[in-house]
Structures are given as structure tokens and as C-alpha cells.
């Protein structure tokens, strides 16, 4: 199978397939289903492959003391942390409505499962795949988690992610993607970014990320911790276009002369030419020949050794290109 698998019907991820671009809506919908729909439409219009939300069961994820604590923040949607988090949760009916809306636009839909109850919720919703958050861990924990995951399901993609908002540039560590490749040769790898701007995410694409995820927003100034490091419509469109351009530019690992180089080769490509006037019948040696830009383009310099010992079929002037019709 190699480092690839079918993520969704007829959509594969991994080596040899286009980068799968996830527009992370998360909780940037402000608890408003109409804003959520606008974000889904924005993601589709910008060319993303998938939209993703975050699903939590608060009592499965948090202790009562955490939910009951006072929450004083400019980003708060309630007086306690529990009220704040509940405000941003959608119901089953709302999730079904959003999933149907995404389907009507022909864009994939999923969510992060933030706890075991939410895993069951999303499985029952029949999302095509689940995202499990990074959990702010080290490599030892990643290896253990992969051992557990692979014992049940080998179709796992690992995303390098630093959970700080925004992430400092020197704490992104894109090279971790290569560490994942080395440790898990059967698994696609990718990048989930929380940094400002596009440069680092585009670098992840250039390093071969199979999946890329970035948060999106309708307004970076809105209340909520994620908005400032999210992409607006213009940025998301530029990111998608940039990733697709990078994919084309990465091309093949095989070095070969390209069709677009031919005009330049005809104009400036070097050939073997006569170093002096040469008469028909002479057997060629290196002293008879040199390399110059000439017209027409003739015998390639890299094949000089194949020309040595050949017999000229006609006279060749000094500086004249050696072409096939010169050789017996």
C-alpha cells in the first residue's frame, strides 16, 4: 500500500496524491449556525477539500470544577468556563444540518473528537474520518499513540502541530514531519498550523505535507482565541493556490530536459564544432574538435567520446557544427 490510503470515497491521501486541504472552522462560528454555513461556503469557494469543526461533550472532557470556574476573558461567551464552552457547541440536529449543507456544496465535512463521547457522536453522524487533537505531546507519546491506533486501524495520518495561538516561528518545527516519515513509513504526514501568515504553511507543502490544515475566519477581530491566527477569505484562496502551484513545481525526482527548454537549447545549447577545417574521410580525434554555441545545434558535447574515431562523410569548415550527416 505504501504511504497512502483512501481517506474518503475515491479521495486518497499520501505519496502521489494532491495535498488534502482542511479548512478548520473549529469554534470560529461564534455559536451561530448561519456563520458556520458562511464559513463552509467560503472554504468551498476558496478551493479547500474539507471543512472541520470541533465536537466536545463537556462533562466527558472537563471536570466539574473546571466547568464551574469563573471565566474572565475578552473572549468569554459566559461567566463560567462551562457556560462559555456550551455556547460554542452545536447540537446533533445542527451538526446534521451543517453536514447536509456541506454535502450540497460538494465539500467534505468532519470534526475533531475532543473526548470519547464525541468519538461516538461523530461515528454515529457518519463523518468520513475523525481528527484527534495533538494534545501538546512529545515523540514518546506519539509513538505509543501510534502503536495503539495501528492495532485497530492502520489508516492514520500524522500532522505536526504546535498548540499555541499564534505559534512562534521557532516553535513550529516542520522537520518533525520527516521524523514522522522515518518512524512511521506506512503513514501519510501533514501539518496543522496556528502561525500568522502563509509562509510557513507553504513551506510545509514544499516539504511534502500530504494534509494541511489551517483555521479560517470571517473576521480576524472577532471574539475568540483562534481568530487572530486564522486565515480570511483572501488568505485561504492564496494558500490553496500556492499549494497547488507548489505541487506542480515539485514535479518529478527524475532529472530530464524539459519541453519548455527547447527554444533556449536551440538558441544557446552547445555543440561539438570543427576546431579547424576538416576534410572528408578524416578519422576524428579530440584535437580536431571543440565545444561552442553554434547553429544548427549538433552533436552534444556530453557524447564527445562517441564521436572519436568516426569518419567524416564531407568537408567541415572551422567552427561548423558537427551534425549526423557529417558522419559515415
pLDDT of 11 above 80: yes
Count of CB atoms within 10 A of residue 192's CB?
23
pLDDT above 60 for 67: yes
Q: Would you say the C-alpha torsion 87, 92, 94, 95 has a positive or negative sign?
A: positive
Q: Answer whether residue 1 shows pLDDT above 70.
A: no
Q: Where residue 134 falls among pLDDT bands split at 50, 70, 90?
A: confident
What percent of the chain has a predicted confidence (pLDDT) above 90?
A: 97
Exposed, middle or buried: residue 283 (CB in 10 Å: 0-12, 13-18, 19+)? exposed
> Residue 190: pLDDT band by 50, 70, 90 thresholds?
very high
Position 135 confidence tier, pLDDT thresholds 50, 70, 90: confident
Domain boundaries, the chain: 4-250, 259-326
pLDDT digits 0-9 by tens, 34-49? 999 999 999 999 999 9
Report yes or no: 138 and 121 within 8 Å, Cβ to Cβ: no
Task: State the average pLDDT for the chain.
Answer: 96
* 282-305 per-position pLDDT tens digit: 999 999 999 999 999 999 999 999
Q: Which of the four pLDDT bands, split at 50, 70 and 90, describes residue 69?
A: very high
Determine the average pLDDT of the residues in 63-86.
95
Q: Which CATH number, 3.20.20.70, 3.30.70.1140, 3.40.50.880, 3.40.50.300, labels domain 4-250?
A: 3.20.20.70
CATH topology for the 259-326 domain: Type Iii Antifreeze Protein Isoform Hplc 12 (3.90.1210)
Cell of 258: 524539459
* Contacts by residues 92-95 (CB-CB < 8 Å, ≥ 24 positions apart): 92/121, 92/125, 94/33, 95/53, 95/55, 95/125
Q: Does residue 147 surpass a pLDDT of 80?
A: yes
CA-CA distance, 172 to 175, in Å (whole number)? 9
Q: Is there a contact between 291 and 272 (Cβ–Cβ < 8 Å)? A: yes
pLDDT tens digits, one per residue of 107-118? 999 999 999 999
Write the pLDDT tens digit of every residue in 219-271.
999 999 899 999 999 999 999 999 999 999 999 999 999 999 999 999 999 99
In terms of C-beta density within 10 A (0-12 exposed, 13-18 middle, 19 or more buried), how is residue 26 classed?
buried
Q: Is the pLDDT of residue 202 over 80?
A: yes
Amino acid at each position: 500500500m505504501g504511504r497512502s490510503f483512501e481517506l474518503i470515497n475515491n479521495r486518497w491521501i499520501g505519496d502521489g496524491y494532491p495535498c488534502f486541504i482542511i479548512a478548520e472552522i473549529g469554534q470560529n462560528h461564534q455559536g451561530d449556525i448561519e456563520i458556520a454555513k458562511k464559513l463552509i461556503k467560503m472554504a468551498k469557494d476558496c478551493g479547500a477539500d474539507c471543512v472541520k469543526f470541533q465536537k466536545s461533550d463537556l462533562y466527558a472532557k472537563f471536570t466539574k470544577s473546571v466547568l464551574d470556574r469563573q471565566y474572565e476573558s475578552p473572549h468569554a461567551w459566559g461567566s463560567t468556563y462551562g457556560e462559555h464552552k456550551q455556547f460554542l457547541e452545536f447540537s446533533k440536529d445542527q451538526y446534521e444540518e451543517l453536514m447536509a449543507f456541506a454535502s450540497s456544496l460538494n465539500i467534505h465535512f468532519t470534526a475533531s473528537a475532543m473526548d470519547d463521547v464525541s468519538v461516538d457522536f461523530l461515528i454515529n453522524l457518519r463523518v468520513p474520518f475523525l481528527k484527534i487533537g495533538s494534545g501538546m505531546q512529545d515523540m514518546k507519546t506519539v509513538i505509543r499513540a501510534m502503536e495503539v491506533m495501528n492495532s485497530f486501524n492502520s489508516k492514520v495520518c500524522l500532522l505536526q502541530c504546535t498548540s499555541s495561538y499564534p505559534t512562534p516561528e521557532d516553535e513550529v518545527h516542520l522537520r518533525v514531519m520527516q521524523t514522522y516519515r522515518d518512524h512511521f513509513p506506512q503513514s501519510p504526514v501533514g501539518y496543522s498550523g496556528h502561525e500568522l501568515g502563509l509562509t510557513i504553511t507553504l513551506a510545509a507543502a514544499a516539504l511534502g505535507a500530504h494534509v494541511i490544515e489551517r483555521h479560517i475566519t470571517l473576521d480576524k477581530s472577532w471574539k475568540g482565541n483562534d481568530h487572530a491566527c486564522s486565515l480570511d477569505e483572501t488568505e485561504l484562496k492564496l494558500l490553496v493556490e500556492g499549494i497547488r502551484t507548489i505541487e506542480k513545481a515539485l514535479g518529478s525526482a527524475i532529472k530530464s530536459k524539459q519541453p519548455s527548454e527547447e527554444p533556449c537549447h536551440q538558441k544557446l545549447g552547445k555543440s561539438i564544432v570543427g576546431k579547424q577545417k576538416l576534410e572528408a574521410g578524416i578519422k576524428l580525434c579530440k584535437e580536431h574538435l571543440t565545444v561552442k554555441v553554434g547553429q544548427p545545434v549538433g552533436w552534444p558535447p556530453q557524447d564527445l567520446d562517441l564521436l572519436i574515431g568516426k569518419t567524416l562523410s564531407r568537408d567541415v569548415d572551422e567552427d561548423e557544427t558537427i551534425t549526423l550527416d557529417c558522419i559515415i
